[in-house]
Amino acid sequence: MQIGPYTFPSPTLALAPMAGVTDRPFRVLCKRLGADMAATEMTTSDPSLWRTKKSVLRREHAGEPSPIIVQIAGYDPAMMAEAARFNVDEGAQIIDINMGCPAKKVCHVLAGSALLKDEALVGRILEAVVRAVPVPVTLKTRTGWNPEQRNGVRIARIAEAAGIAALAVHGRTRCDFYEGAAEYDTIAEIRAAIRIPLLANGDIADSAQARAVLKHTGADGVMLGRAAQGKPWIFRELRAALRGEAVEVPDAASQREILVEHLQALYAFYGEAHGVRVARKHIGWYLKAHPALAEVRERVNAATDAKNQMAAVASC
């Protein structure tokens, strides 16, 4: 799969941008364990917020393997264009536009998936951002606003006409949020309607589902979100399975080593106090597959410093 000057393996395996999850430590870890692409958490196009601590951390990508993909969100074409220029000046190599987030606080300001209700505005935003920067621009979207308004094919055509370099589509509408099962028929229709690279997203949690989705949609790759939480090695497993190679599932000791690596990166990135708090949810996801370790999770949540949190993990 080709996006501007960047070539990715086929099929491409991408980590979905997730607010509060895909910070630099998690992106770097997933890339090391097989993810071909990983974008930052959604960052705002509002320049008054670019220098807040939260925004600065979300855009932090020093030392991250190329390509650096920064996702921006907003509703104003001029602000989105300026945000794209700002992030390219700070090292972004690909700009990704968010038109898929279903969160109420995002849709309330007519950003994220709320934009799918205004196709003309979608076109103006995409054209403005593509014109503003010399790097490839990609788009993350959904199949429509609601099941009665699945305009994903029209949005995809608008994106291609605007110069978008690649498209990722979550197989749900905004009103579906993350409920029910993702549907892939619309993604297949989008594949038939456009020539730019396409990633399929939604409910892909194992190699069997990935293979089925790729076959059904004709997509160039898959994008995983929740399936990677607590299981960043899933990309390595999928790559082997899709190539017909033996899949090596890390044993408990190897999983613990990966978790420790993740925790150390979180402490270094956020500082100990904040890192311990951020780590709790990640440890919870790692332990979710091991219900017998509920007592360990209680100790993790009670820990207020890195030493005790690490001690709890070491007891797994």
Tell me the domain boundaries of the chain: 2-242, 252-314
Mean pLDDT of 119-130: 96
d(CA 18, CA 198): 19
User: What's the one-letter identity of residue 199?
Assistant: L
Sheet holding 221-224, edge to edge: 37-38, 12-15, 221-224, 198-201, 166-170, 137-142, 94-99, 69-73, 43-44
Backbone angles phi, psi at 36, to 5 degrees: -85, -30
Most distant pair of Cα atoms in the chain: their distance: 56
Supply the pTM of this predicted model. Answer: 0.93
Q: DSSP readout, 53-119?
A: HHHHHHH--TTPPSPPEEEEE-S-HHHHHHHHHHHHHTT-SEEEEEE----HHHHTTT-GGGGGG-H
Residue 104 has pLDDT above 80, yes or no: no
pLDDT in tens, 203-214: 999 999 999 999
Residue from 101, 107, 175, 316 carrying the catalytic annotation: 101
Work out the pLDDT band at 153, boundaries 50, 70, 90. Answer: very high
- 286-307 pLDDT, tens digit per residue, is 998 887 677 888 888 899 999 9
Q: pLDDT tens, 55-76?
A: 888 888 989 999 999 999 998 9
| 30 catalytically annotated | no
Sign of CA dihedral 38, 204, 282, 55: positive
Residue-averaged pLDDT of the chain: 92
Q: Which residue has the tokens 């990135």?
A: 269
CATH classification number, 2-242, choose in 3.60.15.10, 3.90.1150.10, 3.20.20.70, 3.30.160.100: 3.20.20.70
pLDDT over 90, % of the chain: 74
